[in-house]
Structure 1
């Protein structure tokens, strides 16, 4: 499973980082970092990754097949 991040759409709410802090983080300027760009999300982190996608209020995250 991979996650696609639309950085232009992200508004820095941090809901993804709350749901999956091992996958997402925000810096002091509310800029998002996704720690698995171009890599598969490890199996043990997939439930929290899906929760992060569902929590995003601006739909900046998508699950890719």
Structure 2
């Protein structure tokens, strides 16, 4: 059983000021960097074309910029 924080019984609307605080990460700090578009690699062709090109191919550069924060 895990220990609950002392204020865990407070209503949510009274805890929002501390909601994003914490020492957590989505992946370990020593994890290798992933390519920015693994989802696109797994999805493959969309089956939708725009002027003869697959939609996934057209959107890939924008998706990479979005993931990279640029």
TM-score band by shorter chain is under 0.3
Q: Determine which structure has the larger strand proportion and give its number.
A: 1
TM-score, normalization by structure 1: 0.25
TM-score, structure 2 normalization: 0.24
